[in-house]
Structure 1
């Protein structure tokens, strides 16, 4: 494994940080190579500590000298947290940040010129079914990029982009995307109720429909468009529903585009706050 023998420090033990750490441990990272710094100890972090014996500190220890640092704190905490991190980093310490809207230039201002990877995982990483968009600065060597790829891919595939600006677009699509899908399930369930179904049955139908369709897309070699066409019989029920959903003015296509661009624009704005 690319991260064998690497000392990894995680700054922030929230759900996403813990999801990634759990993936690393399952993939073979030795618990003694991993340390996490977080003033709080939530359920997910407690489970990792108790299950694997990883080192947990409430403040950054002075005796740490990591090869890789994962910065997994909220974007609004960065300016407060990063100055304390800078003194423990070597010139070639790889910094991987998963904070939305926090640019490589911002990280470098606080940490110095380090090899930096910006990454945007999503919440299905919690069950090993995430996907991550990532960007590496010029200071990241091929070996370091391979280490970052191995760490990030422990919870799902990694897609590398050539321009840092595209990370904001990744945020709008896959970073925020699970929330859109969850809301679709909510809307399907509410629509089922409106059609006369009991609320609990409508929700079960919606959850399994969304989850099953997602799994089918992953397993199938067909495009989503072809899968949609396969379900749609001429003059049938699905076609009737899709006429509403696919309306170019009032349907889903313009609404989803507006949604993704709003999320992307907020990520851009965060980088300027």
Structure 2
């Protein structure tokens, strides 16, 4: 294979739900892919608009033709039935990118062929607004050229990071893949606490939403570590310190989060084992 950078060319997107739709919108906006064909009996609302406008093509079954890139964006539970028809779309130079949790490169290769270049990726739901982050693992047939192309495509939804071991994708899933749900729960519980302390439900939720969103944006924009930002907000013997004494005490947030991430990692591994 030459060292000349590859372009995405024709892309087959198997699965047009939220994540598939987010990726397709990002590619279209950035011009990082060529023609995009979506296979899904019921594509999501955002993709339906693009299909109706003629920006994407669509079918309910995999076409009997080859594509440059195949993106697997179906639910892990459906992969066993979704993969066999995809083999007709995979040629010697096709790149396969899977965003299905718990589906290993071996499982994909068993269906599509041992020589296929496979990248496992774990994006998260902020990809819907271009603010996601994606953790990736490159299979044994993935060259630097293929890796660069996969990163170019996936970065349409936010930053891309790579792990050296496939098992680490389970940890990525537990931290960032499932992580938005943890943050949403934080906002829920913060609002509920505000309501319990006397605020109206609407005001408590507004304060919680904007506090979580603003703090997250500050973390992204700041060069300081979260621990430094936390200390900057915390006056000695002040109100924040009183709250942190509870959250950082024995049995507080840190050990609870470790147990939560471990549970998610364990479940991801179970899915990988079938």
Q: 1:18 aligns with which of 6, 13, 21?
A: 21
1:142-180 residue CA offsets vs partner (Å, 9 max, x unmatched): 111111000000110000111101000000000000000
Extract unaligned runs of 5+ from structure 1.
none
Q: Which residue of 2 aligns with 1:77?
A: 78
Q: Scaled by the length of structure 2, what TM-score is found?
A: 0.95
Q: Scaled by the length of structure 1, what TM-score is found?
A: 0.96
Q: 1:128 aligns with which of 116, 130, 133?
A: 130
1:37 and 1:60 in contact (8 A); partners too: yes
- SS of structure 2 residue aligned to 1:35: strand
Extract unaligned runs of 5+ from structure 2.
none
Q: Which residue of 2 aligns with 1:89?
A: 90
CA distance, structure 1, for counterparts of residue 55 and residue 88 of structure 2: 26
Map 1:162-173; keep pairs closer than 5 Å.
162-173=164-175
Map 1:2-17; keep pairs closer than 5 Å.
4=7, 6-17=9-20
1:26-83 residue CA offsets vs partner (Å, 9 max, x unmatched): 11146x6110100113312212213452100111111x21111000000010000101
| Cα distance, 1:181 vs structure 2 | 0.1
For residues 246 and 52 of structure 1, do their structure 2 counterparts lie closer, same or farther at Cα, with a shift above 3 Å needed?
farther
Q: Which residue of 1 aligns with 2:273?
A: 272
| Cα distance, 1:87 vs structure 2 | 2.1
Q: Which residue of 2 aligns with 1:176?
A: 178
1:149 and 1:158 in contact (8 A); partners too: yes
Q: Which residue of 1 aligns with 2:247?
A: 245
1:215-248 residue CA offsets vs partner (Å, 9 max, x unmatched): 000011110000000000000000000000011x
Aligned residues: 269
Q: Which residue of 1 aligns with 2:101?
A: 100
1:20 and 1:125 in contact (8 A); partners too: yes
CA distance, structure 2, for counterparts of residue 188 and residue 5 of structure 1: 44
Map 1:1-273; keep pairs closer than 5 Å.
4=7, 6-29=9-32, 33-51=35-53, 53-62=55-64, 64-113=65-114, 114-247=116-249, 249-273=250-274
1:73-127 residue CA offsets vs partner (Å, 9 max, x unmatched): 0001000010111122112211000000000011011111110000000000000
For residues 52 and 252 of structure 1, do their structure 2 counterparts lie closer, same or farther at Cα, with a shift above 3 Å needed?
farther
